[in-house]
Amino acid sequence: MITKWCGSRSELECCVSRLNAKREMSERYLSGVEELAGYCASCGDIVKFGNTVTPGEKWKNLRESFICPRCGLNGRMRHAYIELAAVIESLSEPKVLLFERVTPFFSALEKIYPFVEGCEYVGPDITPGTIIEQKMIDRKLRVRHEDMMAISFPDESLDVIFHADVLEHVPDWIQGIRECHRVIKPGGTLVFTCPFFFMEESITRAKVENGEIVHISEPAYHGNPMSQSGSLVYTQHGWPLLEELEKLGFETVESGLLWDPWQGILSTNNPCVEGQMWPLMFRCRKPAG
């Protein structure tokens, strides 16, 4: 299958409703298999993806599963790889910043596109742009610290910015997107994923007031390769995200749907409709000026 890029909510809803019965049947079956032979876009080869059970969840989150034994990318990351690679390939040695550096995703991308730059949020008292020597389990890495709310790059200096499931952890996500928009060149592209639910309103779960975190609902944390305690979720995004991205200055805001069992790219398969997440990528273009 190829990505269906949708320029509106109604177009995306239409695609999803056409696919849903097939998805439910396929994912019910795939939840029960231990491995799945399929195509890994990052390795460019047929591999056997391993199915995993996410601890604490009653069902198998297939979005995070079917991990490639060779490159270590799960379905969500292979989807991101496909869409980011397509944007990079359309440009000539673009300046690309990824909001990840220590992950298998960065390693896979850097192998093919050595000019890409990665960064991580290392800690609160570090100046954005500082290079930190980070101890990993098996190696030491030089990691650039960046805070999405105060990116150290100059205005209009990057062709592409990419982040994958980072935005929900940014205390002021609007400021984060504003900063991405500022440093992207005219005509440049922001490519990102975040947990996205078909909800009428986005949900603010936590916020920062006077330097303190204020929890509005039960704190939720996601895994973070830079911190054992994980990352706090500040926002769960629903439909308002698409409008906000346009308001923040992006000319075209598209949602790319790629549901493809052959590539092990699937949904969260959440039995609760409100928690269901499709394999979606957001691609936003800054006006050419």
Question: Closest separation between CB of residue 218 and Zn ion, Å?
Answer: 36
Residue number, 43 or 174, with CB nearest to Zn ion:
43
> Which residues, numbered 203-232, are part of the site for Zn ion (CB under 5 A)?
none
Tokens 């379905």, located at residue: 75
Listed ranges 43-51, 54-62, 175-183, 261-269: which one lies at the site for Zn ion (CB under 5 A): 43-51
Q: How far apart are CA 163 and CA 94, in angstroms?
A: 16
- 41 belongs to the binding site for Zn ion (CB under 5 A): no
- 43 belongs to the binding site for Zn ion (CB under 5 A): yes
Residue number, 40 or 242, with CB nearest to Zn ion:
40
Question: Closest separation between CB of residue 62 and Zn ion, Å?
Answer: 17
Residue number, 77 or 284, with CB nearest to Zn ion:
77
Sign of CA dihedral 271, 276, 278, 279: negative
**Strands annotated E in 12-65:** 35-40, 45-50
Candidates 9, 18, 22, 70: give the one binding Zn ion (CB under 5 A): 70
Residue number, 40 or 257, with CB nearest to Zn ion:
40
Which H or E run contains 212? strand 212-215
CA 201 to chain centre: 20
Spatial contact of 217 and 203, defined as CB atoms under 8 Å apart? yes
Spatial contact of 209 and 217, defined as CB atoms under 8 Å apart? no
- 40 belongs to the binding site for Zn ion (CB under 5 A): yes
- 111 belongs to the binding site for Zn ion (CB under 5 A): no
Spatial contact of 264 and 167, defined as CB atoms under 8 Å apart? no
Question: Closest separation between CB of residue 229 and Zn ion, Å?
Answer: 29
- 174 belongs to the binding site for Zn ion (CB under 5 A): no
- 42 belongs to the binding site for Zn ion (CB under 5 A): yes
Residue number, 12 or 88, with CB nearest to Zn ion:
88
Residue number, 43 or 226, with CB nearest to Zn ion:
43
Q: How far apart are CA 247 and CA 251, in angstroms?
A: 9
- 85 belongs to the binding site for Zn ion (CB under 5 A): no
Q: How far apart are CA 141 and CA 131, in angstroms?
A: 10
DSSP 182: H
Beta bridge partners of 229: none
Tokens 């944007």, located at residue: 87
Listed ranges 55-63, 67-75, 90-98, 138-146: which one lies at the site for Zn ion (CB under 5 A): 67-75
Question: Closest separation between CB of residue 68 and Zn ion, Å?
Answer: 3
Candidates 62, 68, 96, 258: give the one binding Zn ion (CB under 5 A): 68
CA 198 to chain centre: 17
List residues near Zn ion by CB under 5 A: 40, 42-43, 68, 70-71
